[in-house]
Structure 1
Amino acid sequence: MKPDQFLADLLEKPARLRALDLADAWSFLTPPAQVLLLGMGSSHYANLVAAARLRTGGVPAVAELASSDLLPAVSRDTLVIAVSASAGSAETVDAVDRLGVPFVALANHEGPLTERAARTVWMQAGEERGGVACRSFQHTLALLLALESHLVGVPLPPVARAAEATEDLLARADDWRPRLAELLLGPHGTHVVAPARRISSAYQSALMLREGPRLPAVGCETGDWSHVDVYLTKTTDYRMLLLGGSRWEPQLLDWTRQRGSTVVAVGASVAGVTDVLRYAHDDVDDVRLLTETLVGELLAAHAWLDAAGG
């Protein structure tokens, strides 16, 4: 894992998104009886959002950690999609072996998973030379949204606008990144909060801070925050990256104001927070989903570089 190459991978995001071909990615599929999404780490985060969206569209779908001993019963009418950028996640390979049914791999490279798959959908994210799943995470989301489009009939995801949004954040990073780093990278870690429909963004952003610079960080859903995470605002120097757009923000903000917590809102103008970062097309929720993790990724990349003396 290399911090300078991780940063270079992030800088390539707009070009890679623009080159991503979604139109026929899932055209080989007929409507399944149900969908099972398997993965670990970032792949599972993306799967959680995709499964929820499919269910909302009327398609029975679940996302399971591939490591689970309690995988659902499946049949040949179940569409099993195993997601792994490396195509080598041991738990995911084990899960499809245990299930013993044909499956589709969603991968960025050839590996044990693609060798076993009945069909492979390629992430088209290119080599991630920094060793961190950043572009592949973004492309996984886009391709799973394209799956939703194919099965439910909703429009394809707005990858062109997400590329513009990503470009906008990158172009202005020298202005906003040092300011947000000072506010968010506190002595007791960073908390990332997002709506349930974009929970992958909270989990992935926190993972980036843990995986690269090895900083303490956790993700949480906005509504659930008031039930599980609020307690730390009383006893720690609490720093929150709030990925905006949840109707449950008012109760969260009531607590953070009372206790003087640092809150930076991204993607929405939120009254009473410490700072706000907006970017192009952030009024489109799917653009947020495909873009907002870049904020945490850039904070992580530069903190990692600083720690490495780069």
Structure 2
Amino acid sequence: MNPDAFAADLAEKPARLAELAAALERDDPWAPVGLEARSADLVFVGMGSSHYASSVAAARLRARGVRAVAELASSDLLPRTGPGTTVVAVSASGGSRETLDALDRLSGSGARVVGVTNVESSALSARADVVVPMLAGPEHGGVACRSFQHTLALFLTLEAGMTGAPLPAALVRAAADASADLLERESAWLPAVTEAALGPDGTHLAAPARRLSSAQQSALMLREGPRVAAIGCETGDWAHVDVYLTKNTDYRLVLFGGSRWIDGVREWTDPRGTTLVSVGEDLPTAAVTVRYRGDEDDDVRLLSETLVMELVAARRWQAQA
């Protein structure tokens, strides 16, 4: 793992997303899978950021009437599968041992395996019936950042294909523009966000359930790179599981906008003077607010907003090196 290479990987996000958008304009990467919403049974398996993305994808599909679940590949309670099941195994490296083990445990059931990976000549690819490449390019920093973003984009493509919507090439281009905007204006917003978000007692992040992966991935980036204590939470659930630390710690909260439960957060943070960073939404009590191109679109947020804390993590990591 290398902090300078991680920062360089982040800088490539707009160009790589533009390449993915162009690929989606040419072909549907899920067409060889041949899934139909009315008859599909989907089981997503993966670890870490792959599971974060899968959980959002499965929830979105369930909300549209598709039978889909996401499980940690390491779980001893994997769903029963059969000839009518499609297992979507996700691993950027294609070598996650837990994911490969899950496929071993699910083998013999007759389920079809789709491998979603950034390394086509990988162990996962060899075990899959169909491979959907992430097309994120090599991540020389050793951190799954672009591959996480591309996984989400590919899952939105899967959802579109299963529900009869157009492939989201325009959305991916909008995410590329949003990422470019954040990168181009980094010097204007990053110092204030870093000062507000990184406290002596760690960093807490909250996002709506439909974009919970943003809080989880952002927290992971802080832990994985600069080794900063960080945890992700769902905004509505925050008042049930995370509120308590606002009373007796120097609590720092990064809020990803768009939740209808934000008043439940402010009920506690406003009177306690909690330090808030708001991403993608104006919040009067925020110490810092970060807006970016296209942030009024919820799916653009999903594909783009993690770059804020990824850049915070990268610069802090570089400063420690």
TM range (shorter): over 0.9
Describe how 1:180-199 pairs up with structure 2 within 5 A: 180-199=193-212
**One-letter amino acid of the structure 1 residue matched with residue 116 of structure 2:** L
3-state DSSP of counterpart to 2:31: coil
Matched, 1:112 2:123: yes
Deviates more, 1:150-159 or 1:233-242: 150-159
For residue 301 of structure 2, what is the aligned residue in structure 1? Answer: 288
Once the two structures are TM-superposed, the CA of residue 33 in structure 1 deviates from its matched residue by 2.9
Please give the per-residue CA displacement for 1:203-247, whole angstroms capped at 9, x wherever unaligned: 000000000000000000000000000000001100011000000
**One-letter amino acid of the structure 2 residue matched with residue 136 of structure 1:** S
Please give the per-residue CA displacement for 1:223-273, whole angstroms capped at 9, x wherever unaligned: 000000000000110001100000000110121111111001000112222
The answer to whether the 8 Å contact 1:105/1:113 transfers is: yes
Q: How many residues of Structure 1 are paired with residues of Structure 2 in the alignment?
A: 308
- Percent identical pairs in the alignment equals 59
Deviates more, 1:121-130 or 1:271-280: 271-280
Please give the per-residue CA displacement for 1:50-109, whole angstroms capped at 9, x wherever unaligned: 000000111010000000000001111111100000000000000011001330000000
3-state DSSP of counterpart to 2:281: coil
**One-letter amino acid of the structure 2 residue matched with residue 183 of structure 1:** A
**One-letter amino acid of the structure 2 residue matched with residue 231 of structure 1:** Y
Deviates more, 1:273-282 or 1:37-46: 273-282
Matched, 1:36 2:43: yes
Once the two structures are TM-superposed, the CA of residue 30 in structure 1 deviates from its matched residue by 3.0
For residue 132 of structure 2, what is the aligned residue in structure 1? Answer: 121
The answer to whether the 8 Å contact 1:81/1:103 transfers is: yes
Describe how 1:66-85 pairs up with structure 2 within 5 A: 66-85=73-92
TM norm structure 1: 0.98
Deviates more, 1:194-203 or 1:29-38: 29-38
The answer to whether the 8 Å contact 1:58/1:152 transfers is: no
Q: Distance in 2 between matches of 1:155 and 1:203?
A: 28
TM norm structure 2: 0.94
1:240 counterpart (253, 259, 269): 253
3-state DSSP of counterpart to 2:42: strand
Q: Distance in 1 between matches of 2:315 and 2:74?
A: 32
Runs of 4+ in 1 over 4 A off after TM superposition: none
For residue 19 of structure 1, what is the aligned residue in structure 2? Answer: 19
Q: CA-atom RMSD, angstroms?
A: 0.9
**One-letter amino acid of the structure 2 residue matched with residue 229 of structure 1:** D
Once the two structures are TM-superposed, the CA of residue 155 in structure 1 deviates from its matched residue by 3.6
Q: Distance in 2 between matches of 1:131 and 1:290?
A: 20
